Amino acid sequence: MLLNNCKQKLELEYPCSWVYKIIGREQGELRAAIAEVVQARECLVSLSNSSSGGKYLCLDVELVVLSGEDREAQYCAFKGHPAVVMVL
């Protein structure tokens, strides 16, 4: 992962806590998607924000990732879920 186009890599020590911002349209569907993706892993889910018109909302999902590959796999699984509009 590059920071500010500087060719400096983000150095992480695994396992570590990581937060994904999951954006979608309906809280119940997003929570179901999160449960499906993380399965039996412990995670903390909290409401982060919602759009001014109420069309979109963001949930923060904090969980422990075991490696860079695990972190990327979780990201891709969230991104590929039909209830998820965007993952940050």
- The reported pLDDT for the residue numbered 7 is 67
17, pLDDT greater than 70? yes
By the 8 A CB rule, do 34 and 61 touch?
yes
Measured on CA atoms in the order 45, 62, 48, 38, is the torsion positive or negative? negative
75 occurs within a structural domain? no
- Residues of the domain holding 44: 13-64
In the chain, the number of structural domains is 1
In CATH, what number is assigned to the domain containing residue 19? Answer: 3.30.70.260
77 occurs within a structural domain? no
36 occurs within a structural domain? yes
- The reported pLDDT for the residue numbered 43 is 96
Tell me the percentage of the chain whose pLDDT exceeds 90: 80
In whole angstroms, give the CA distance from residue 18 to residue 71: 8
Average of per-residue pLDDT values in the chain: 91
- pTM value is 0.85
